[in-house]
Structure 1
Amino acid sequence: MGNQESLLASDLPLSESHREILRTLIGSIIPASEEYDTPGADDPLIFKDVLITSGSYTDMFEAGLEDIDRQAMRSHNGVGFAALSDTDRRVMAEQLSRTLNPFLRTLVSITTQCYYRDDRVMQALGMDPRPPFPEGFTIEDGDWTLLEPVRRRGKLYRDIDS
């Protein structure tokens, strides 16, 4: 997995302050669970994977993280997002989750991708930490009659002349 490679701080996207805001934000999105023995998204390996994966979105992330930090400062007497208490960060993350902000949609997508490809998380879910191909995963047979309306509808495309 690429997130275990050693990186220099200068190789990482984002400034140190933006990385700290990002780390605390994704830790609020997916916190660690003692009950399920899983790390949070702010775990060093998962966080490094998020940084690497988000590299092509650096400009969007810088602007989005800066905006979140400004919002925190406005609503918490000048205290930035990374310095908020865990409770205040979770409340703010919950409020942010209700927005249709493209940065947040991208952030949540990248965070969940990186989180669920972590071996420890896969094992906690009872799955082998491996790619689905070539062995595949067994999927329980479902109720195939649920597809009848789709079959009755017919095709939604036109055949083209070859």
Structure 2
Amino acid sequence: MNKMVKKSNPILIAILIAIIPTINLFAQKGYNSNGPHNGIIKKVKNYYIETLIRDNKVYFFFLDEKLKPINNSEITGTATLLFADGKSKKVELTNVDTDAFTVNEINAYAYTDIYLTFKIKGKSISTVFSKETKLEVLPKEIIKHYHEQGTEHSYK
């Protein structure tokens, strides 16, 4: 019996090594990098929200349980952008086409955290997306410049 246990130990170790990365993926609370638009998706109640940065703009897609885009005509949203310098800015999300939203803020892509609130069918749905790398490596002059530029724009 002891010989059998000794032979199965390497097999069990190999299985555990193979399973641990998979467990880590499921432990990330709904994050996935395989969204329909190749963005990061997060499950929020009965929906999914996908975010991606493209052409220095932050986009959001509201998805159903089958990861199909939901028409945005009756959905509104706000975003509170947090930046590496500790400042924040709340903005209304703008509809793009029939299935996306964007932040009309010149420096939106430089956020470290973004708090989202959507209103759909009379209910509020909120979530937070955080970048893995905080943008503290940017010189303060650049961050200050982006904030100054952002205050010159109207978001209505």
Q: Relative contact order (C-alpha < 8 Å, sep 6+): which is higher? A: 1
Identify the structure with the greater helix proportion.
1
- TM-score norm. by structure 1 comes to 0.22
Identify the structure with the greater strand proportion.
2
- TM-score norm. by structure 2 comes to 0.22
